[in-house]
Structure 1
Amino acid sequence: MTVSSDVKTCVASLKSAQASLEQFALSTQNKQAKQTYTQAAQSTEQIVSQLEHRVKQLENEEPQYKGF
C-alpha cells in the first residue's frame, strides 16, 4: 500500500468513528456522556480535516494516486 492509500483508509475509519460518536451522543440521556461523545466527535472532525488536507497534498505530489 502507498502512503496515500493508507492515509485515505485512516480518514475513512475516522469518519466512521466520528459518526458512531455522534450517534452515541444522540442516543444517550446522560448529560456528561453526551458532552464527552460530542467533544470526541468534534476532535475527530478536526483530525479528519487535517488528514484530508494531507491527502490533497499527497495527490498533488503524486497525481497517479488521485481518486484512489
Structure 2
Amino acid sequence: MTVASNVKQTLVTIKDIEAQLSALALNSLDEDAKRAFHETALTFENVKKDIQTRVFQLERQEPQYKGS
C-alpha cells in the first residue's frame, strides 16, 4: 500500500470516528458525556482537516494518486 493510500484510508477512519462521536453526543443523556463526546468530535474535525490538507498535497505532488 502506498503512502497516499494509507493517508486516504486514515482519513476515512477519522471521518467515521468523528461521525460516531457526534452521534454519541446527540444521543447521550448525561450532559458531561455529551460535552466530552462533542469536544472530542471537534478535535477529530481538526485532525480531519489536517489530513485532508495532506491528501491534497500528495495529490498535487503525485498526480497518479488523485481520485484513488
Q: Is TM > 0.5 for Structure 1 vs Structure 2?
A: yes
Q: Which TM-score tier does this pair reach, normalised by the shorter chain?
A: over 0.9
Structure 1 segments of 4 or more deviating over 3 A? none
Measure the CA separation in 2 of the matches of 1:14 and 1:57.
Answer: 18
Tell me the C-alpha RMSD between the 2 structures.
0.4
Q: TM-score, normalised by structure 1?
A: 0.98
Q: TM-score, normalised by structure 2?
A: 0.98
For residues 32-61 of structure 1, the C-alpha deviation after alignment (integer angstroms, 9 at most, x for no partner) is: 000000000000000000000000000011
Matching residue of 1:16: 16
Between the two proteins, the alignment pairs up a number of residues equal to 68
Measure the CA separation in 2 of the matches of 1:18 and 1:42.
Answer: 8
Matching residue of 2:26: 26
Cα deviation for residue 16 of structure 1 reads 0.3
Residue segments in structure 1 that go unaligned for 5+ positions in a row: none
Residue segments in structure 2 that go unaligned for 5+ positions in a row: none
Q: Identity of paired residues, percent?
A: 38
Cα deviation for residue 19 of structure 1 reads 0.3
Cα deviation for residue 4 of structure 1 reads 0.6
